[in-house]
A and B are shown apart, each in its own frame.
Chain A
């Protein structure tokens, strides 16, 4: 089944969820690694090109996910979950979505601060909207890095919670997303 139902996630939703998970952790690792490369490293330019390209595509996928949830809804929380668990899960989901967008926007603001657009795999270019504030590339860079650590922390928490539900509570929380 491709569509979400009140009791389970559709295939499309699952696919996009795991795709985003891989992209988020991949971009985090790539971001840390590429900024540590020496000037003469073969990946000194390729790393950031890849990071920016995947980042832009991730933003598009996130918008698609929001649209899909808007159109076909989400499954209801499991009946066995307490109100507190449901609230906490909603809060973490909200924060994760918010952080992904904030990181994407701050990344965009680094690369486009001088009017240059972002080239996505020699495929299309996201134009720059110009500079919005002073020292934009530096401020956006700091924000981008800090929020990335926060996101990865939250995503780990989100994953540990799913594993806890699977192993300790023995409920369908994790299985629903597989």
Chain B
């Protein structure tokens, strides 16, 4: 019910048949790429990438036609500890000097209903490209108070470090990293 109402509203608002193009609002920092990895198996360590850019197309009527691409500056890794950040950027882990960018380009989007989406795409990280699946949910969309139009999503996915050629140096409890993604796009 809610979905059809929203779809109707989106139709009225957009009036065009093509999916709208959005720029991820990194300028206003209404987007973040966070990671989470177990520390020794006793707690979770959280960090993020402070710099990235992203674009996507989205139409609430045809979510499966959506496309998204994001480029992350891997050197902008930030775990709130300079010495650890330095180590994570080194060739022991992300080797950001050799691989300064990580990219994600969607290949297909499945509409699971209730604003839930399954975004499949190619992630290139540490020089290795692998297909990953992001479980995403649309949080909301509509006019912003400053004359623009926005839509926002969040998503999660889990990466196995060795899938991307990143050596397992942190022990058996820390072989996978969870990504916690939040984006808000401003319609162009």
Contacts and interface: CB of A to CB of B under 8 A. Distances in A.
Interface stretch (B75-83, B106-114, B149-157, B179-187): B75-83
A137 B169 contact: no
A138 B169 contact: no
Given A38-B169, A40-B171, A137 B83 contact: yes
Nearest to B168: A39
A136 to B, nearest CB: 7
B82 A116 contact: yes
Interface residues of B, number: 11
A135 B73 CA distance: 12
User: Which bucket holds chain A's interface residue count?
Assistant: 10 to 19
B82 A111 contact: yes
Contacts of B86: 110, 137-138, 141
B85 A137 contact: yes
Interface string A133-166: 0011110010000000000000000000000000
Given A135-B75, A138-B89, A111 B170 contact: no
A85 interface: no
Contact of A137 (B80, B82, B170, B171): B82
Contacts of A112: 82
B34 to A, nearest CB: 18
B170 A39 contact: yes
Most chain A beta-carbon neighbours within 10 Å: one of B80, B81, B82, B89 = B82
A110 B83 contact: yes
A172 interface: no
A148 to B, nearest CB: 16
A24 interface: no
A169 interface: no
Contacts of A136: 82
Most chain B beta-carbon neighbours within 10 Å: one of A39, A48, A116 = A39
In the A-B complex, list the 8 residue pairs whose CB atoms are closest, starting with the nearest.
A113-B82, A114-B82, A137-B82, A137-B86, A141-B86, A39-B170, A39-B169, A138-B86
Interface of A: 38-40, 48, 110-114, 116, 135-138, 141
29 contacts: A38-B169, A39-B169, A39-B170, A39-B171, A40-B171, A48-B83, A110-B82, A110-B83, A110-B86, A111-B82, A111-B83, A112-B82, A113-B82, A114-B80, A114-B81, A114-B82, A114-B85, A116-B81, A116-B82, A135-B75, A136-B82, A137-B82, A137-B83, A137-B85, A137-B86, A138-B75, A138-B86, A138-B89, A141-B86
